[in-house]
Amino acid sequence: MSGGGRNPLGHGPVLLLSNARLADGRVVDVRISGDRIQAVGTAGSLGPLPQSALPPAVLAAAGGDGPTVATGARIDLTGYLLLPAPAEPHAHHDTAFTARDADTRPGPGEPGELVRRVTEAALTSLGYGATAQRSHVRIGDAHGLHRLDAVLTARQALRGLAELQAVAVPRLLTGAAGADGRAQLREALRMGADAVGGCPELDPDPVGYVQTVLAAATDFDCPLDLHLRAADPVVLARLATLLAPLRPRVVVGPCDRLAPGGGAVLRGAGLRVVCLPQNGCCGALEGPPGGLGPAVVRELTDSQVPLAAGSGALRDAVTPVGRADPLEAAYLLAAGGALGVTAAYEAVSSQARQLMGLPVVRVDAGFPAELLAVRGDSLAGALAGGHSRLVVHSGRVVSRTSAVREFADTVALALPRQPGSTRATE
């Protein structure tokens, strides 16, 4: 990958991505101006951008002075696949890196440590390509609001690098025992939480729980994103009926224990589902994870339920080897036969962005410049082993990962090598 002698992470207002292969096989140049894709043309057809074509905000910032041609970086993406950037629709950044054997860092409850871990988790996810992320955050009980405060602090610090959404997740909400949770939930929304979350099946009164979160979401005009395993078809039907009026702003998941016929119930209520291919479940719910069975995914897809996929865990107590790689989630869906390759990637990209309330992204003029360049000649190849990646958020290169594979000199076969190097590219 060439940046024309310049550091692409410090490029100017215009970015030209040349010789990029798209998922449909075309090789193109993509010119980005500001936070939008300005043009897409056949390889070699796009040149410098006239200053007059820059967005008004960029021209105003420059004071009207400068060259007649806008400067920026040209990055050669030969050997890379250019895709709409994936998103992470279901993470738990506040518990990331808390697996017992992870290390000997300070306790997870310390405010400074919380902010550091949340930031590290978000940057880890960004490095894999997720320019937008939604983190569920436990509030109430012994947690109070300090975990949410840490996520909101990290959200502000990461502005310009990634978009981070926070979902407030109270435990108990009904009866006298839920009074504190009800108060904390509304305070969390006043603090700036983006969505109302929770685990209705863990409350003694799941119906009352949903009624409470619905009232909060309505009062604060925000979406709902609830943890549901969906094992009981009667309970699922009652909850889905309650949630239906707020569609399409309702997400449930991981639905790893979805009973037969549950897909039709979810579809009828207009609900979206986010599944967790790594292990089927996450630490917010009780019981050991049982994996995500292909039958569950088939039930959802056969019922035409909008389906996204997330990680759910990044090296926490439930999933000590958890990863935050959207392409890993797509790979697991495709490798297990649950979805085709294209549908699997859509689950971590377009479907994930839609359930997060974000604009559609396509590699086409006029669309947001939220892109991922990943080493590979096809989408299947990228999912199978695309480690080198370049991530674009709001028109700016925000992360670059270069993976190099080396072999001993005794290997006799001709290997693809980088110019001037004994190293073989992936």
Q: What is the pLDDT of residues 223-274, one digit of tens each?
A: 999 999 999 999 999 999 999 999 999 999 999 999 999 999 999 999 999 9
pLDDT, mean over the chain: 88
| Region 4-20 average pLDDT | 70
Using omega within 30 degrees of 0 as the cis cutoff, is the peptide bond preceding 254 cis? yes
Q: What is the pLDDT of residues 70-116, one digit of tens each?
A: 456 899 999 999 999 999 999 999 999 998 644 444 444 577 899 99
Write the CB contacts of 391 (distance below 8 Å, at least 6 apart in sequence): 85, 126, 127, 129, 131, 371, 372, 373, 397, 398, 399, 400
Write the CB contacts of 393 (distance below 8 Å, at least 6 apart in sequence): 85, 126, 131, 160, 161, 162, 163, 369, 370
**Residue 287 C-alpha from the chain's centroid:** 25
Residue 139 region by backbone torsions, left for phi larger than 0, else alpha for psi between -120 and 50, else beta:
beta
Asked if residues 33 and 54 have their Cβ atoms less than 8 Å apart, the reply is yes
Position 12 scores a pLDDT of: 58
- What pTM, to 2 d.p., does this model score? 0.89
In a 3-state reduction of DSSP, which class is residue 235?
helix
